[in-house]
Structure 1
Amino acid sequence: MKSEQYLVLHGLAIKKYATADAVAGIMGLDPEHVASVLREATARGRVLEANGKYSLTPTTRIALASDYSRHCADLRESQPFAKAYEEFERVNSTLKVLITHWQTVDIAGSAITNDHADTAYDSRIIDRLGDLHERADRILAEFARHLPRLQIYRDKLSTALERAEDGALEWVSDAKIESYHTLWFELHEDLLCMLGRTRVE
């Protein structure tokens, strides 16, 4: 598999179901080139297209999974990268708790959906997210040192946090945009694919 095609398909594996522009944005590739690769892959039956969005076929997903060992051999053998990944997983556990606190509030011992009416509560969670990002940023920098394209996540996560801190609450966890939680989830998926790991729910 050509490296350029691999990156496009890898981006689609992370996004699951996405436009060419979305794949290009997360992989740092030219959108027109990504669109061309996806059109060719669709014609060859490797990718499915519906309403301008693409997804991998099951066969392509399996083939891509087996191809990671070749494309990502250096990362899999890197002890510094493995150490950074383990630190990332520890921060990930903290983030999962934080997002739960963002999405729900405790009322008389019961967790109910956060309607975001309590601005003080939301502000405390966003402050915690800022503290978490300070811990994470060193890890993100280490990832980017080994694989420069991962700097995209670092930049996008900082932007999402800044927007949330400026009062746009949807940038914390809204799945329809590149919110902090959405980007973090995609970075995690990126790492899992490359390292051949399995997500622990």
Structure 2
Amino acid sequence: MILLIWVKYDQYIQQTMQISAIWNHEIDVNLIYLLLSTVQGGIDEVNEGLYLFQVWKIEGDNEQRYKKRMKKFINRRCCNRNINLLVIFLSEKFFLKNATAIECATFYTVNNGLPFVERDKVLWIKYRKNKRIKVSYNFCFACCYFHIAIFVHQNLLVNSKIIVQKNDKYKCDKICFSVFQNIWRSTIKKNGIKDKK
């Protein structure tokens, strides 16, 4: 199975996870993604925005006021609590000029969606700590390496150790092997991956 990743999501995944790591993975990654995709700037600007948002969230009774308005957001299918709080923060600080908080949350959710799920964050943390991937496959050796190369590229696992358990029942022809082996070698050179057989 090959995971098809949305190009816009793929563009921000590494920065999103870096910022999440800075905040010790305590902030919703969809919130970070929203800021990255809308703020004209880099990691520093997003961190500054997150800091201001966290301070706003703690002070006063902002979360309690959100709970009173929560039903309006949910009726408009804006179910991510953190993004709803962020747009309320932005509307109170006069960053939203032509839309209300609910309209902005609806617009973002409908147009961009919420591409990250909790599993993305868990996998990112797991692979960054372990930096080792164990793969068992039931198809030809070269095709397995091709799928691993795609997996490594999609999950940004640079400098990971790849361990492959081969099933000897499956053989591939020389053409298949040479094509996929060349793709794999170029991936190794490009990403600096160490291959352990």
Q: TM-score, normalised by structure 1?
A: 0.22
Q: TM-score, normalised by structure 2?
A: 0.23
